[in-house]
């Protein structure tokens, strides 16, 4: 991040040309925003603005759905749906456009509430919230481009100069290695412990180790395991239980002396609040693609600040969704470490061209590019969309006896 180079609004509006890659269409968008200034600024309906949402295009890209929101200017924004059946996400996004058409895209909070509270029977579920997350990213992308600034500027500016990432050479997360019984024999517990011991050996005493239980180690076995890995000083034990019963988390926290992290499968401020109120976790892991987008993640971070609980954002999105999460992370005070997979296995390199950079120590640095700071190669995106090897497939997690397990 280079905060000293960002132009102020007067500089941007007065150029009449390109500032930080802002096109003439973006400058037009900014002039449209400027029309809301003056005596009419108290008009909450924004009746004087000419900037309107014109169209929404949703494209299935492997297991993801990319959303492009266009305005009546050349300004447009991108968002990404993850953790959902992509054809369902595409159809739902196109249906929700009914609530967006003709609206001012910079009224982001108003539009978030309009989408979230639009249907009382679908409110709050993962299918609709994951789609809202992508729409929210796209709206913030538009707003940043209109003002010619990166999104983190609109969120209050950067509070840090770099964002610590994993996995890196010195920060690794190991997983469960397969399904596990409700309570284990010594050899089974030792298999799990070896995963942590091997990870610690790889990174050394100065490195960082995390363990993801992935909701697949039932609580009785988890208690056996957690007691034996205390000497390895892991950063946190992730997803110790399936969300939905706060009493399980309370019971685990009472008996486990390792920092506990969770939150990737919890949506909005209302689902994360019980963890904080009941003091049953130490670190919260919001996912910008799961919890309601940039708007919701920023609120969750503020809620965590009140309980002095740092965030360690979960993220298995492409560089598009990763960028959205980075902007929030850059602007909030209590932060530990950020998940980001940039090796091309989430999305082939080149589909999304981000402007953030990664230094030799594995830290992310945001640029001054406006909006999300990404460009999408729509031709490459279409190639990935047509690749049958990247089609979404439903998981079938089973125990050895054929019964269904959590994962």
Higher pLDDT, 45 or 228: 228
Q: Is the pTM of this model over 0.85?
A: yes
Q: What percentage of the chain has pLDDT greater than the value 70?
A: 88
Given a cut of 50, is residue 267 above it in pLDDT? yes
Q: What is the pLDDT of residue 33?
A: 53
For residues 16-37, give the mean pLDDT. 43
Taking only the tens place, the pLDDT of each residue in 85-107 is: 999 999 999 999 999 999 999 99
Given a cut of 70, is residue 133 above it in pLDDT? yes
Q: What is the pLDDT of residue 162?
A: 98
Q: What is the pLDDT of residue 31?
A: 52
d(CA 314, CA 289): 9
Taking only the tens place, the pLDDT of each residue in 322-358 is: 999 999 999 999 999 999 999 999 999 999 999 999 9
Q: What is the DSSP letter of 7?
A: P
Q: Which domains does the chain have, with CATH numbers?
A: 3-150 (3.30.390.10), 163-372 (3.20.20.120)
The model's confidence at residue 12, banded by pLDDT at 50, 70 and 90, is: very low
Q: What is the pLDDT of residue 233?
A: 97
Q: What is the pLDDT of residue 44?
A: 56
Taking only the tens place, the pLDDT of each residue in 284-293 is: 999 999 999 9
What is the bridge-based pairing of β-strands 260-262 and 283-284?
A: parallel
Taking only the tens place, the pLDDT of each residue in 177-196 is: 778 777 778 888 999 999 99
Of 347, 311, 365, 377, residue with least CA distance to 150: 365
d(CA 380, CA 163): 28
Q: What is the pLDDT of residue 1?
A: 59
Q: What is the pLDDT of residue 178?
A: 75
d(CA 256, CA 283): 14
Given a cut of 60, is residue 383 above it in pLDDT? yes
For residues 245-249, give the mean pLDDT. 96
Given a cut of 90, is residue 49 above it in pLDDT? no
Residue 181 neighbours by CB under 8 Å, 6+ apart: 188, 218, 221
CA distances from 71 to 51, 226, 342, 369 (A): 7, 52, 30, 20
Q: Range with the lowest mean pLDDT among 168-172, 173-177, 243-247?
A: 173-177
Q: What is the pLDDT of residue 70?
A: 98
């Amino acid at each position: 991040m280079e905060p000293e180079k960002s132009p102020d609004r007067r500089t941007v509006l007065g150029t009449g040309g390109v500032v930080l890659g802002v096109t003439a269409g973006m400058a037009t968008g900014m002039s449209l925003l400027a029309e809301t200034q003056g005596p009419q600024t108290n008009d909450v309906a924004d009746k004087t603005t000419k900037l309107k949402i014109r169209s929404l295009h949703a494209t299935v890209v492997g297991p993801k759905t990319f959303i492009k929101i266009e305005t009546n200017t050349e300004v447009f924004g991108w968002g990404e749906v993850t953790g959902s059946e992509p054809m369902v996400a595409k159809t739902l996004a196109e249906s929700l456009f009914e609530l967006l058409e003709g609206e001012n895209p910079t009224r982001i909070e108003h539009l978030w509430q309009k989408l979230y509270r639009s249907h009382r029977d679908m409110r709050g579920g993962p299918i609709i919230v994951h789609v809202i997350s992508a729409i929210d990213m796209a709206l913030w992308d538009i707003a940043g481009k209109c003002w010619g600034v990166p999104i983190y500027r609109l969120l209050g500016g950067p509070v840090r100069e770099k964002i610590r990432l994993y996995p890196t050479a010195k920060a690794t997360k190991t997983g469960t290695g397969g399904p596990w019984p409700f309570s284990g024999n010594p050899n089974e517990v030792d298999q799990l412990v070896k995963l942590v011991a091997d990870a610690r050996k790889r990174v050394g005493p100065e490195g960082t180790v995390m363990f993801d239980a992935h909701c697949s180690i039932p609580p009785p076995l988890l208690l056996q395991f957690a007691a034996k890995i205390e000497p390895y000083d892991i950063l946190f034990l992730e997803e110790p239980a399936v969300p939905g019963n706060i009493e399980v988390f309370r019971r685990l926290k009472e008996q486990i002396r390792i920092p506990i992290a969770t939150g990737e499968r919890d949506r909005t401020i209302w689902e994360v609040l019980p963890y904080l109120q009941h003091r049953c976790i130490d670190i919260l892991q919001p996912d910008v693609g799961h919890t309601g987008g940039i708007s919701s993640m920023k609120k969750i971070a503020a809620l965590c600040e009140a309980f002095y609980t740092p965030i360690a954002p979960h993220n298995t999105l492409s560089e598009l969704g990763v960028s959205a999460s980075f902007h929030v992370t850059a602007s909030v005070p209590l932060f530990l470490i950020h998940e980001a997979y940039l090796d091309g296995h989430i999305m082939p390199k080149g589909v999304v061209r981000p402007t953030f950079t990664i230094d030799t120590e594995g830290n992310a640095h945001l640029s001054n590019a406006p909006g999300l700071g990404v460009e999408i190669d729509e031709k490459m995106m279409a190639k990935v969309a047509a690749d049958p090897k990247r089609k979404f497939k439903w998981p079938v997690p089973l125990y050895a006896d054929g019964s269904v397990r959590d994962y």
